[in-house]
Structure formats: C-alpha cells, structure tokens
C-alpha cells in the first residue's frame, strides 16, 4: 500500500455518534455522509455506521445511489438541490427527496402517480440561507400541495438549514465578518430562523393538519448550542467526525477527531547552507540542514497554501514544512536531527489538530477534510461492534 494514507478510527466515530445521541435524545440522529463522509471514506464509514443511524444525509443523488449499491438500507435524505430529470433515481433507489420547490414536488407527485411508485419527501424551507428551499413567507402553497399529493407521495419530514448556527449570540464580533462590520446587523440569527420555521409549522395547526413526523433543523452548531432546534431529529456533520464547527463554541458534547494522516519519509539529505528548497526557492537553508521529503502534495489534498506554514511530526518531534508544497511531495526541515528514509510522518492527528491545518491554509476544517483526495488510501481501524 501507498505509504501516505489516512487512518480512520471507527470506534471513535461510533463514540462521537453515541455522545451526540445521548445529548439530543429523544431526537433522532441523521448521520451526514456527504462528500465521501467528509473525506473519511464513505465505503468504510457507511457500512459500519449505518446500523446506528436513524437517517443518512447526502448532498447529491449520486451519493445516495452509491450507498444503496453498497447495500445500505437506512433511510437516505438527499439534502441538496435536485433537477426534475433526476427524479426517477429517487424512486428506483428509494431515496428521500428534499422538496425544495413547488415545481419539484409537483413533478415528483406526477411521476409517482403515473408510475404508481412510492416516494418519500421532506419539505425544504428556506428561513435564511437563500440557497435552496421555499421561503417561510411563501411556504403555504408548498404545504397545500404536499397535503394534496397522491397516496404515492409520503411527506415524511420538513426542514430548514441555519446560516449562522455556529456563531454565538450576540452576533456583534466584527472580526468574524471581515472588513465590513455593518454586515453584523444583517446576519440572520439562528433563533430568528427558528422563529420563521415555527411560523411554517403553524400553517399546519391553522389547517388542523398534523405536522410532518420528522421536523429537523439542527446542524452541528445548533446541536451543540440550541436545544430548542432539535425537534424530531438533528443533522450533525462535522461534529460527528469529531470536529467542532467553530473555535469559540461551547463544547456541550464531547467528540474527538478520528483521522490520522500518515506518511513516510521517502528521501532524506543534508543540504548546504544557503540552498533554496522547492519551486520558486521560497525558503533557504541557513545552516547545513537535513531536509526530508514526504511523498504527499497538493494533489493529495495537502494544500499548496501550507507552503512554509505547516508542520509535521516525525519520531515524536515537530518539524516545519519548508519550501513550496509540490503536487506530489513536500519537504521538511529536520535541522540537525537524523531523519531516515522510512521514518513515519504524521501530517494530521496525534497532536496536529485539523484546526491547525485549516489555519495554515486560511480555510476551515471542513475543507481540510473533504479535500483529502481519492489518491490517499483510507485505512479503517477499531471497528469493534
């Protein structure tokens, strides 16, 4: 196997889920497996975790199909936008549709009736993202339609998604917002989104109709900090993978990262003083230094933006990444230490938090994890059931 690989600790992953479940009970837990299980490798994560999940969430229909082809039988909600021509796949693979417009729900109903096939759907209400979904002030028509659908359409759920759940109120910190602090006034608070969602639920009451059985709003941020958002189910993504969605959020649920990104020194040489290292010679040795080469680069998802920012651990010691990160390799300055070919290198985990990698590259942990490319094998450990 390739010396550069990602170790995924499945028992810690299960522990994270158990801790979340204990905190939100009796609410159900939808486990978010989109984007290759946030980069963890859905082929290993899904079969292991599916038996413990009430629902699975993916972003696109292809991810749902992939899970069904693997034999996953848990209900799967395709949370993202869907084109009308993708609807037949929902019937064929028993995927739950996020009904994000009146047109889409109408098309699904027509297809269900004409083919006499069943489909499950969750109505998608947009309370402040301006992404997909029907706004709370225009939701009545969608609900009316959902109540009038044929017997083949089961309106099982209704949901919304927060734009700012991870930011603690009051939302006044200008540093979070970049240059324009006036933006803070226009930020939609999770509590306001919740009120808008609640308005939509009142429509059912006014009509003496029961609300859909599964009402859900909470992503990781809300799962941690907004218990009134739980309703019948929560949808924690990054939190399930052991990462907190924001630096200053209260850690009301204990989780730990499950990834360790490892490699091995593939070359080790002593470089003369004053020599430039890597493309562009952006870093020079000051003294005679041991330069170790790690067979991992930006094509593996180790950001080029980490150049002269990153650090790794070799033989229990931290060393700086130096010179331009290349497509397939990067270099480390080991100074006077004796680093040998074959020595293990830790790129993430064991003392290097995903947060650190995010800081080096000026991004967030979500992108760090989902960016680790398919060229990096995933090795699953700790699968004790």
Ligand X SMILES: *Cc1c(COP(=O)(O)O)cnc(C)c1O
Contacts (Cβ under 8 Å, ≥6 apart) of 203: 139, 140, 143
Residue 236 near ligand X by CB under 6 A:
yes
Among 6, 31, 32, 58, binds ligand X (CB under 6 A): 32
Scanning residues 57 to 96, which ones bind ligand X (CB under 6 A)? 59, 79
Among 121, 211, 219, 260, binds ligand X (CB under 6 A): 219
- In this complex, which beta carbon is closest to ligand X, that of residue 112 or of residue 222? 222
Asked whether 269 and 39 are in contact (CB, 8 A), the reply is no
- Structure token digits, residue 198: 């609640």
**Neighbouring C-beta atoms of residue 211, cutoff 10 Å:** 18
Q: How far is the CB of 98 from ligand X (least distance, A)?
A: 8
Instruction: Return the range that interacts with ligand X (CB under 6 A); candidates 84-92, 236-244, 322-330, 374-382.
Output: 236-244
Q: How far is the CB of 318 from ligand X (least distance, A)?
A: 29
Instruction: Return the range that interacts with ligand X (CB under 6 A); candidates 183-191, 201-209, 232-240, 333-341.
Output: 232-240
- Residue of 34, 145, 262, 264 marked catalytic: 34
- In this complex, which beta carbon is closest to ligand X, that of residue 40 or of residue 290? 40
Q: Spell out a b/e string for 25-49, using b for 16 or more CB atoms within 10 Å of the CB, else e.
A: eebbbbbbbbbbbbbbbbebbbebb
Residue 238 near ligand X by CB under 6 A:
yes
Q: Active site includes 34? A: yes
Residue 235 near ligand X by CB under 6 A:
yes
Instruction: Return the range that interacts with ligand X (CB under 6 A); candidates 225-233, 237-245, 323-331, 342-350.
Output: 237-245
Q: How far is the CB of 226 from ligand X (least distance, A)?
A: 12
What is the rounded distance in angstroms from the CA atom of residue 132 to the CA atom of residue 129? 8
- In this complex, which beta carbon is closest to ligand X, that of residue 31 or of residue 149? 31
Q: What is the CB-side half-sphere exposure of residue 242 using CA atoms within 13 A?
A: 20
Residue 237 near ligand X by CB under 6 A:
yes
Residue 161 near ligand X by CB under 6 A:
yes
Q: How far is the CB of 134 from ligand X (least distance, A)?
A: 15
Instruction: Return the range that interacts with ligand X (CB under 6 A); candidates 167-175, 234-242, 323-331, 347-355.
Output: 234-242
Q: Spell out a b/e string for 310-334, using b for 16 or more CB atoms within 10 Å of the CB, else e.
A: bbbbbeeeebebbbbbbeebbbbbb
Total residues at interface with ligand X (CB under 6 A): 13
What is the rounded distance in angstroms from the CA atom of residue 372 to the CA atom of residue 119? 34
What is the rounded distance in angstroms from the CA atom of residue 307 to the CA atom of residue 293? 14
Q: Spell out a b/e string for 212-241, using b for 16 or more CB atoms within 10 Å of the CB, else e.
A: bebbbbbbbbbbbbbeebbbbbbbbbbbbb
Q: Which residues of the shown chain bind ligand X in the complex (CB under 6 A)?
A: 32, 34, 59, 79, 161, 219-220, 235-239, 245
Question: Would you please indicate which residues are annotated as catalytic (active-site) residues?
Answer: 34, 279
């Amino acid at each position: 196997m390739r010396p550069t690989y990602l170790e995924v600790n499945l028992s810690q992953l299960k522990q994270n889920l158990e801790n979340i479940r204990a905190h939100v009970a009796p609410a159900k837990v939808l486990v978010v497996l989109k984007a290759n299980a946030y980069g963890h490798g859905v082929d290993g994560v899904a079969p292991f975790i599916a038996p413990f999940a009430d629902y699975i969430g993916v972003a696109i229909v292809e991810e749902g199909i992939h899970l069904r082809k693997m034999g996953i039988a848990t209900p799967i909600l395709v949370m993202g936008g869907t084109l009308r021509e993708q609807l037949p796949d929902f019937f064929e693979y028993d995927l739950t549709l996020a009904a994000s417009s009146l047109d889409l729900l109408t098309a699904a109903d027509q297809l269900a009736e004409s083919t006499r096939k069943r489909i499950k759907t969750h109505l998608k209400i947009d309370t402040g993202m301006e992404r997909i979904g029907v706004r709370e002030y225009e939701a009545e028509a969608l609900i009316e339609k959902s109540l009038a659908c044929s017997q083949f359409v089961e309106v099982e759920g209704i949901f919304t998604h927060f734009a700012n759940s991870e930011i603690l109120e009051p939302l006044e910190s200008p540093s979070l917002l970049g240059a324009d602090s006036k933006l803070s006034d226009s930020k939609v608070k999770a509590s306001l989104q919740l009120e808008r969602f609640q308005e939509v639920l009142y429509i059912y009451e006014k009509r003496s109709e029961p609300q859909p059985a599964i009402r859900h709003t909470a992503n990781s941020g809300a799962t941690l900090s907004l218990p009134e958002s739980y309703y019948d189910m929560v949808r924690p993504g990054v939190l399930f993978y052991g990462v907190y969605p924001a630096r200053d959020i209260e850690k009301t649920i204990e989780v730990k990262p499950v990834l360790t990104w490892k490699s091995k020194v593939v070359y080790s040489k002593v470089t003369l003083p004053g020599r430039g290292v890597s493309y562009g010679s952006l870093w020079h040795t000051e003294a005679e230094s041991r330069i170790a080469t790690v067979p991992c680069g930006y094509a593996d998802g180790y950001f080029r933006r980490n150049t002269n920012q990153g650090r790794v651990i070799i033989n229990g010691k931290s060393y700086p990444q130096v010179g331009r990160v290349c497509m397939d390799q990067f270099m480390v300055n080991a100074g006077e230490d004796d680093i040998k070919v074959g020595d293990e290198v830790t790129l993430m985990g064991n003392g290097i938090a995903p947060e650190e990698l995010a800081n080096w590259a000026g991004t967030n942990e979500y992108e760090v994890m989902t960016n680790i490319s398919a060229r990096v094998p995933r090795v699953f450990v700790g699968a004790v059931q």
